[in-house]
Amino acid sequence: MEKLQVDNALIKQFRNWFSQNETEILREQLLNMYPQDIAMVIDRLENDEARIVMNALDKIAVVKVLVEMDEQTRESFLSTYSPFEIANEFLENMDSDDAAYVLNHFPNSVKEEVIGQLQDIEYASSLLNLISYEEETAGSLMAVELVKANLNWTVKQCIEEIRTQAENVDSIYVVYVIDDMERLVGIITLKNLILAEPKAQLADVYNKTVISVSTSTKIIEVANTTKKYDLVVLPVVDPLGRLVGRITVDDVVDLIKEEADEDYQLMSGITADVDATDKVWVLSRARLPWLLIGLLGGIASSRILGVYENQIMIHPEMAFFIPLIAAMGGNVGVQSSAIVVQGLANDTLGTKNIGQKILKEIRVALINGIICSSLILAYNLALYHSCELAITVSIALITVIIFASIFGTFIPMFLNQIKIDPAIATGPFITTSNDLLGIVIYFSVGRMLYTTL
Amino acid sequence: MEKLQVDNALIKQFRNWFSQNETEILREQLLNMYPQDIAMVIDRLENDEARIVMNALDKIAVVKVLVEMDEQTRESFLSTYSPFEIANEFLENMDSDDAAYVLNHFPNSVKEEVIGQLQDIEYASSLLNLISYEEETAGSLMAVELVKANLNWTVKQCIEEIRTQAENVDSIYVVYVIDDMERLVGIITLKNLILAEPKAQLADVYNKTVISVSTSTKIIEVANTTKKYDLVVLPVVDPLGRLVGRITVDDVVDLIKEEADEDYQLMSGITADVDATDKVWVLSRARLPWLLIGLLGGIASSRILGVYENQIMIHPEMAFFIPLIAAMGGNVGVQSSAIVVQGLANDTLGTKNIGQKILKEIRVALINGIICSSLILAYNLALYHSCELAITVSIALITVIIFASIFGTFIPMFLNQIKIDPAIATGPFITTSNDLLGIVIYFSVGRMLYTTL
């Protein structure tokens, strides 16, 4: 099987097969493609064309492709099916976590209608359970399919159980060992099962060191735990310690990437999860909020500068350094907040000792402030500018750098303490507020110095 | 085993055990801790204390802890050992990818000296091979330990081979199937091995669909492939298609997180990989380069504004909107570049059709530009400001938004084409250049309008 480039040529090829009714060739081609690539093809096809492709796939492949499709494509594709068909042709064959994922893109009423149509009642009740977990928790991310074995079994019994359970579970990495109360007590890897004597007791060969999370654990902690302990699969237990599901690393990888992309976009002033292939108005809408905040910040700056109109008229050279002061305040603020936001997200930064952290920030700011201020002082004195201006710019610059550092550190930590995502305090927010701060400091210092010197 | 909080209390506890020579209690405690947590404890201890902890661990645990330590702690800890000890007490027991990782933090001469001391010649030659791969390629990330089976074997033979090979391989997820030339032809999962008849031929039960990368594949592509196809382990082949190693998902998770953190920091104007716990001067140094660029940008702005000194003296109100114009240019530029940089990193954006993408960007910019310009026009006309100023600000604003969008899209795409990481073109770089651009546009428009109106 070759890795395939899903490009215009391939789509054209597919359309040729459709128009010439080449079902056999199509089927052959699909057999040699990964679900992810088939999904990418379908993302570029019309609904009726997508149906031809899906009909050429077997049941298992159909649901794998469905899960990998773009959200919009899937929604549009499924809209041509009845709730009964969605339930029994698609959901029925999916892993429960995938089914919950697909369901969660439907409105609430549709969700329950679809589940109600499932003929496998036990599965339906699992799904109802899964979609009831709060968003962003381990419960909402887990699959209920897993292989478990009782502590009192032998290795042979355990392997036989795998044979019977294996059909339902796509990929098995470990077998979970439970006690008579269904409580998770340990794991045994398939490797160790193969290596163990068939007659050995599980109790003698299983591994008691198992890391688990609870259904209510936040997904950011799920991600951090998986990453820290190099896990491939993470068991989920209920409040009584009973094994209820598992989260596989592929979902965690997606999670980590999504969180990172979201933070990156927030930092760059984009509010919604968009990418370059989205429609023009979607892109515009995602960007507008921060632009409007920037606009408000700009208007506020203009009001502040209005106060200093006379000063600007008498000393127009003061206006020359407005961009420098504003930009440096913004840059320093963004740098400080980025480090804090990242530290909070990666859990490398304690939430205690805010005071101590700000003190450290001030020392960093002092070093950089002194360097930058000295450089600009030397520049201004060496050039034609007045001594007043040179001193004003340098004093204002170092003050702005220190204040921007403090704000950049304090605001995300404060937001985090009052349970607001600190990432929204980065980018345009910090830039805008530091612009304002910078201008006030600059002109206050200027007014003082020009009258005293 | 409980998840442990590594805090001051625990460190104090450890120090108590050290001072009272409580080796047994220490050993007991360590048996109940994960290597990751032990490493976190050691990160906070002195070298001689660390040695006590390491001596209380068994061989396998020692190397696991060593790999998980902070880079600086590990360097300082290993500096108390001779190359011979490093080779045969530590490297010897490590997986080859971990050994290569640790080695790569040494200077080149030390690397080779340490490898030269290894008593296992075959392993030494594997390591020499691994450290020779270019950084940021699959070869530099892979481990050579893996379980492979010949296509002509039976299932039973394959399981026996696992028994003999398993000792060297930490976690086995799949067995790689190779032909007589050592070329990778497929895989078989442990699950399917357990389910298959022992007498069956591997050739009849193995899975031909295997995704692999080559030793020279860039790690960003390794990450994207693993993520896209939901892989737990990715085989690596040499240019002749022969199986030479494997990359496990835990390394890919670390990779994805590191790349994301790096992009986030670049976006926020921090050049080196730092976190909030680093020393003051390390933090200062990481931030200074972009601040100096910002300073240069500010000086350039002041020179440009100097050209318009007379205009500012006559119309000081023009200075009021300098921050607005500069900030909006910066914001729009960052937004545009962020989407492009992310699209390039996630491979969701083709590198073709730059023209088409810029055209789309212009349409997005037009929508947002018209909205923002209209709002500021209404504000300025409604308030006391002159009609000339109102029109100047609005025309300049929409022009800046459009130009900043084009630059923000074009620059990262251009950098990507000439093989420079486009992420460096975000953040302060875009902000600074768009500040300049904005001021030039604003005052050019102003000069024109004030003389014509």
Per-residue tens of pLDDT for chain B, all 453 residues: 445 678 888 999 999 999 998 889 999 999 888 999 999 999 889 889 999 999 999 888 999 999 999 888 898 899 889 999 999 989 999 999 999 999 988 888 888 899 999 999 999 999 999 999 998 899 999 999 998 999 999 999 998 888 887 777 777 888 999 999 999 999 998 888 888 888 999 999 999 889 999 999 999 899 999 999 999 999 999 999 999 999 999 999 999 888 888 888 888 888 767 777 778 888 888 888 888 988 999 999 999 999 998 888 888 888 999 999 988 988 898 888 888 888 887 776 655 567 777 888 889 999 999 999 999 999 999 886 688 889 999 999 999 999 999 988 888 888 888 888 887 767 777 888 888 889 999 999 988 888 776
Instruction: Label the pairing between strands B233-237 and B213-214.
Output: parallel
pLDDT of residue A278: 78
Model ipTM over 0.85: no
The yes-or-no verdict on residue A1 having pLDDT over 50 is no
Closest partner residue to A268 (CB to CB) among B277, B320, B338 is: B338
CB atoms A332 and B431 under 8 Å: no
Chain B residue nearest residue A311, CA to CA: B316
CB atoms B281 and A367 under 8 Å: yes
Domains by residue range for chain B, with CATH: 8-136 (1.25.60.10), 148-258 (3.10.580.10), 280-452 (1.10.357.20)
Rounded Cα–Cα distance for residues B216 and B132 (Å): 11
With tokens 């530029």, the residue in question is: B333
Greater confidence, B263 or A246? Answer: A246
Reading phi first (left if > 0) and then psi (alpha if -120 to 50, else beta), residue A385 is in beta
pLDDT of residue B1: 42
3-state DSSP helix/strand/coil percent for chain B, to nearest 5?
65, 10, 25
Could you tell me the pLDDT band of residue A352, with boundaries at 50, 70 and 90?
Answer: low
Structure tokens belonging to residue A98 = 């995938």
CB atoms B339 and A291 under 8 Å: no
Chain A residue nearest residue B319, CA to CA: A319
pLDDT of residue B265: 84
Chain CA centroid to CA B29, Å: 34
pLDDT of residue A453: 61
The stretch A137-143 carries a mean pLDDT of 94
Q: Tell me how close the Cα of A163 comes to any Cα of chain B, in angstroms.
A: 6
Measuring CA to CA, which residue among B205, B210, B218 is closest to residue B241?
B210
Cβ atoms of A426 and A338 within 8 Å: the answer is: yes
Measuring CA to CA, which residue among B347, B341, B360 is closest to residue B426?
B341
Q: Tell me how close the Cα of B110 comes to any Cα of chain A, in angstroms.
A: 29
Reduce the secondary structure of chain A to three states and give it as a string. Answer: CCCCCCCHHHHHHHHHHHHCCCHHHHHHHHHCCCHHHHHHHHHCCCHHHHHHHHHCCCHHHHHHHHHHCCHHHHHHHHCCCCHHHHHHHHHHHCCHHHHHHHHCCCCHHHHHHHHHCCCCHHHHHHHHHHHHCCCCEHHHHCECCCCEEECCCEHHHHHHHHHHHHHHCCCCCEEEEECCCCEEEEEEEHHHHHHCCCCCEHHHHCECCCCCEECCCEHHHHHHHHHHCCCCEEEEECCCCEEEEEEEHHHHHHHHHHHHHHHHHHHCCCCCCCCCCCCHHHHHHHHHHHHHHHHHHHHHHHHHHHHCHHHHHHCCHHHHCHHHHHHHHHHHHHHHHHHHHHHHHCCCCCCCCHHHHHHHHHHHHHHHHHHHHHHHHHHHHHCCCCHHHHHHHHHHHHHHHHHHHHHHHHHHHHHHHCCCCHHHHCCHHHHHHHHHHHHHHHHHHHHHHHHHC
Reading phi first (left if > 0) and then psi (alpha if -120 to 50, else beta), residue B201 is in beta
Rounded Cα–Cα distance for residues A27 and A57 (Å): 7
Chain B residue nearest residue A312, CA to CA: B316
Q: What digits encode the pLDDT tens for the residues B213-227?
A: 999 999 989 999 999
Q: Tell me how close the Cα of B263 comes to any Cα of chain A, in angstroms.
A: 8
Closest partner residue to B194 (CB to CB) among A194, A274, A302 is: A194
Measured between beta carbons, the chain B residues lying within 8 angstroms of A284 are 364, 367-368
pLDDT of residue A263: 83
Chain CA centroid to CA A366, Å: 34
Measuring CA to CA, which residue among A221, A245, A241, A243 is closest to residue A233?
A245
Q: What digits encode the pLDDT tens for the residues A34-74?
A: 999 999 999 889 889 999 999 999 988 999 999 999 888 89
Reading phi first (left if > 0) and then psi (alpha if -120 to 50, else beta), residue B322 is in alpha
Amino acid at A268: S
Q: Tell me how close the Cα of A165 comes to any Cα of chain B, in angstroms.
A: 11
Q: What digits encode the pLDDT tens for the residues A411-432?
A: 888 888 888 888 776 777 788 8
Rounded Cα–Cα distance for residues B271 and B273 (Å): 7
pLDDT of residue A383: 82
Closest partner residue to B277 (CB to CB) among A211, A303, A348 is: A348
Measured between beta carbons, the chain B residues lying within 8 angstroms of A349 are 275-277
pLDDT of residue B418: 85
Q: Which of A37, A184, A233, A331 to mutate to test the interface with B (most CBs of B within 10 A)?
A: A331
Measured between beta carbons, the chain B residues lying within 8 angstroms of A253 are 226-227, 230, 249, 252-253, 256
pTM: predicted TM-score of the whole model, two decimal places = 0.82
CB atoms B228 and A305 under 8 Å: no
Q: Tell me how close the Cα of A436 comes to any Cα of chain B, in angstroms.
A: 9
Q: Which of B64, B256, B331, B344 to mutate to test the interface with A (most CBs of A within 10 A)?
A: B331
Cβ atoms of A202 and A155 within 8 Å: the answer is: yes
Measured between beta carbons, the chain B residues lying within 8 angstroms of A363 are 280
